[in-house]
A and B are shown apart, each in its own frame.
Chain A
Amino acid sequence: MPRSRSNSTFNFSQGIKKFFLSAFVVFAFVAYAIHERLTSSNGGLASASAAPASGSGQSASDPASNASASNSSAQQVPASNLSSSSQVSYKNGTYSGPDVNVFYGLVKVQATIQNGKLSSVQFLDYPSDRRTSQQINSIAMPYLQQEAIQAQSANVDIISGATLTSEGFQMSLQSALASAH
């Protein structure tokens, strides 16, 4: 009996030691991971997570460089795709989100609410400084362009335009043709 008791006491103290040792190992790993995440400029594992505390990410904390990084032509997403999916009513206004790390750079969006519904989303900031970002953006981001219309030479085979004859005109033409028989 005493022997078994001393045995169990020994096992107990050994168990406590094991617990603290493994707790220390887990803590050290977590601390190391946090340290890595805060100091790594690209945020390695931190894909699509907010990076407000990014130590070396100057562009995240400096609004001036933010402004220069964002393309002057803010891109718009059609509201038609977005508004239909949500039934929730929001307060009217314009809301900006935080800079979010999307693996290849930072993205910041602004949502506009009209009549309680999401009416448009603008990209205030998206990665355009690095070559890979530009490549990804050219595929993933809408890139509408604008120009003033200008008359061209009329050297064409076919012309596309809205149908000149309205349905009212069609009706009148048909009755005119009918009376011409």
Chain B
Amino acid sequence: MKQTRILMGMPVTLEVVDAGASEPLFDEVFDYFVYVDEKFSTYKNQSEISRINRGEIKFDDASEDMKMIFGLAEQTRQESNGYFDVHHNGIIDPSGIVKGWAIYNAAEILRKMGFVNFYVDAGGDIQASGKNDRGEKWRVGIRNPFNMDEIVKILSVTDCGVATSGTYVRGQHIYNPKNDGEDITEILSLTVIGPDVYEADRFATAAFAMGRAGIDFIEFLPGFEGYMIDKDKQATYTTGFARYVLNA
């Protein structure tokens, strides 16, 4: 069973291969994304994060999930030498860490329901578990940042997370989905494979902000592999990346 809905402003897709998947169970997982969006969206006036940013809620009175996200964001800031930071122009925007965390938790909901073979994909960041409907590892394509209809690499993965941070070229204009107006010109796309989607997403975001040095950062992270595409259509990849590549 497979379904896609637009949640948190992006397509969220669930696919469960195992028998027993049903509409109510999928609703439960999709509803989790709705819950996360209501709490953490800086675009919603009444979200908890908006109220914290306006000073209506003190940090000590924040919910447990909010405190956890702040803790995880601070940990990531330190582990990335400050390249990951949720503080922007005087407000706190934790969306860079919330997404991967939400996908990971959604996958955990499916796992606790007893499912083994499934994936959760939110806006191109993926938690893959078990095998696909042909009994193979999941085939994950890396999108071409120069042509969104094209795939430039096929990965074969199971029980791990895959996340891509990047920009897209539209004609001659480079467009950064995470931050309009910011100029990132050297590298266009950085895909990270990690132990889970939370880990892959936060380090993809942090490493992308480092520019060309980002792939070195991933090389030195134990348990992570990366594939970086630069403005000259050259890809640079880490030592262990090739073992995930499907040679079709």
**Interface residues, chain A, CB within 8 Å of chain B?**
76-81, 84, 138, 142-171, 173-174
Contact = CB atoms under 8 A, between A and B. Distances in A.
A159 B143 contact: yes
A79 B219 CA distance: 13
Contact of A160 (B13, B44, B143, B175): B143
Contacts, number: 171
Contacts of A173: 6, 9
Interface of B: 6, 8-10, 13, 15, 43-44, 81, 83, 95, 119, 121, 123-126, 128, 132, 138-148, 150-155, 162-168, 175-178, 180, 189, 191, 210, 213, 215-217, 219-220, 229, 233-239, 242, 248
Contacts of A78: 210, 213, 216-217, 219-220
Nearest to B241: A145
Contacts of B144: 149, 151
Q: Please report whether the interface of chain B is mostly helix, strand, loop or mixed according to DSSP.
A: strand
Nearest to B237: A145
A165 B15 CA distance: 21
B140 A153 contact: no
Given A142-B219, A169-B9, A160 B142 contact: yes
Contact of B151 (A152, A166, A171): A152
Given A148-B234, A152-B152, A161 B216 contact: no
Given A77-B216, A144-B237, 18 more contacts: A78-B219, A80-B81, A142-B216, A146-B234, A151-B152, A152-B152, A152-B153, A154-B150, A157-B140, A158-B126, A160-B125, A161-B142, A162-B143, A162-B145, A162-B178, A163-B177, A167-B9, A174-B43
